[in-house]
Amino acid sequence: MEIQGKTAIVTGGASGLGAATVRMLQEAGGRVVILDLNEPGQIGEAVRFARTDVSDAAQVVAAVQLAVEAFGAIHFAINCAGIGDPQKILGKDGPASLERFARVIKVNLIGTFNVARLAAAAMARNDANANGERGVIVNTASVAAFDGQVGQASYSASKAGIAGMTLPLARDLAQTGIRVMTIAPGLFNTPMLASLPENVRASLGAMVPFPSRLGHPGEYAQLVRSIIENPMLNGEVIRLDGAIRMAPR
């Protein structure tokens, strides 16, 4: 699908991968509604903001309604919102907290599904283009879905769930003309890593076979654009990781 003149909702769009995606969509002539708990800096004529907990059904319904009322339709949904809360299943203080585990699953996995289902309902009302397309959903997993490290049980489980539902969602929505793809990023220079000392970030980047550096958020956004514009990309998970395979620690 062409981005020019189309509307996207981007979760986690106030920073990191989401913010880079918002910029890309704007530069390509698209309109964006950012769903985030933090207010973004890039609010303008073609951008709206909805303070949203992605795991809350009513809040996402309101955000989708805002997008439709402001711009007439939703054509793309890019899910970048997510959290991490590392803990070992058995630590010095005993077994892992079930509440902390459930919160990560709720935000990352259930939140992604919540946004996808409500965005799909809005996209289904669009007129199909020449290829029969009505919309594109891009979800964000992680290499942790495949190479989970020590303490990453909740994060890995949530991201593996996102990867695992990619094909069935694509099959569910095939007759509607809505494509579903997932990106599994590796080590990217996002705010989560920006808080680390420079030598630590350099060490992490050196773990990547090639290019031996942290990924740039713009490179994630570039892949989102390719997915939107290429109608044959559907039902697949793409690792965007410079060929890294994470060690246990």
Q: How far apart are CA 139 and CA 230, in angstroms?
A: 16
Residue 188, φ and ψ in degrees, nearest 5 = -120, 150
Q: Other CB atoms closer than 10 Å to residue 243's CB: what's the count?
A: 10
Q: Which helix (H) or strand (E) holds 167?
A: helix 166-173
Q: Other CB atoms closer than 10 Å to residue 199's CB: what's the count?
A: 8
Q: How far apart are CA 142 and CA 186, in angstroms?
A: 6
- The three-state DSSP-derived secondary structure of 12-28 is CCCCHHHHHHHHHHHHC
Q: Is there a contact between 241 and 184 (Cβ–Cβ < 8 Å)?
A: yes
Instruction: Give the tokens for residue 200.
Output: 């630590």
Task: For residue 234, give the nearest of 166, 161, 180, 168 by alpha carbon.
Answer: 180
Q: Which of 76, 113, 155, 220 is flagged as catalytic?
A: 155
220 is catalytic: no
Active site residues: 155
